[in-house]
Amino acid sequence: MSLRDFKIDVPDGDIEDLMRRLRATRLPAALDAGQWDDGASLAFIQRMRDHWLNRFDWRVRQARLNRLPQYLATVDGADIHFVHQPGSGPAPIPLVLTHGWPGSFAEMERVIPLLADPAAHGGDPGDAFHVIVPSLPGFGFSAPPRAPGVGARHVAELWLKLMKGLGYERFAAQGGDIGASVSMWLARRFPASIIGVHLNYIPGSYRPPLGPGLPPVTAQEQAYLDAAAAWTSAEGAYAAEQSTKPQTLAYAMTDSPMGLAAWIVEKFRTWSDCGGDVERVFPMDELLTDISLYWFSRSLDASFRIYKENRWQPLTFEACERVAPMLGVAAFPHELPTPPRSWVERVFNVQRWTSMPSGGHFAAMEQPELLVEDIRAFFRPLRSRRA
């Protein structure tokens, strides 16, 4: 595996092009500029555009991200960008953290030091991890796929090769959103290499086997299925588009930074525990850092297309199929519809299920300390089984 150091260095021309496009933005009308019922608020988008043009400094944010130790690895002929923060403790275990959409590797910025060096943050050095945070193919600074087939199932194989290339024969996995799918596929496909899996989201595509000879759906499980269907009807248009016609969507988002911003920021507001005020949880500079990473990647088609790939290869299971590695779940109250523990236990070996007091879909950004403590607690008894 080819490995080399990496520093983010967006060309001046790309930044100038972004500023030009922002200045030339043509905004739509709205029946009520302040409301979010029809999508991203016009008033908020106007204020975001002004901040992006006049106050946001990409070079400052770039320098901050470059404090993270970053690398490029060539895996199966494609460059994968990742952060690799060695742990400080008596016996750190390797942990691959996988982000989702509309997140990026940057959403792990605050949890990386807590996981890698717990003693420096009031924790037990025995809880240390070697932290690896790859960017999904086509996200951030990872190269986009050159052919169909690169969904969460295939990404799990890429992560296995990356981790083994780094010298980690067995490792732990954690993720939310698409990262949860990747982590579940790692456990399913490569159980001998996985110490355990911790999730802060259960993918909507996860379906255990049902039917004759298997336990019937419980009332609690049916309530979840009904809630998930209602959520898809009310909030799932983005996923329907990205999983069916991602290329069409990519034309608009590749050409309009404010179109991209509106598409993303609506999700940060709707999916988070922000009480309707997205900046109460995510400062404007933090939002724009994430959006800028998508913009500068120039591979929006790939970041949308992974939804289509995942639709083709969903997390469905055969009758009596069981996944061996132990699973832990941190269930945040403002997450997308979350199934009951029994639904996951039909396939997975669930050892820990924590109902968190606050937080939503972007747990690593919203509640980094709560998430980290649950990760530490889940893996504590598994450390002796790492060999």
Residues annotated as catalytic are 177, 307, 361
Contact 255, 26 (CB under 8 A): no
**How deeply is 358 buried, as exposed, middle or buried, from its count of CB atoms within 10 A (0-12, 13-18, 19+)?**
exposed
Q: Considering all CA atoms of the chain, what is the largest pairwise distance in Å, rounded to the nearest integer?
A: 63
Contact 115, 379 (CB under 8 A): no
Alpha-carbon span 225 to 337, nearest angstrom: 9
Kindly give, in sequence order, each residue whose CB lies less than 8 Å from that of residue 5, ignoring residues fewer than 6 positions away. 70, 71
Alpha-carbon span 256 to 263, nearest angstrom: 11
What is the β-pairing status of strands 323-331 and 348-355? Answer: parallel
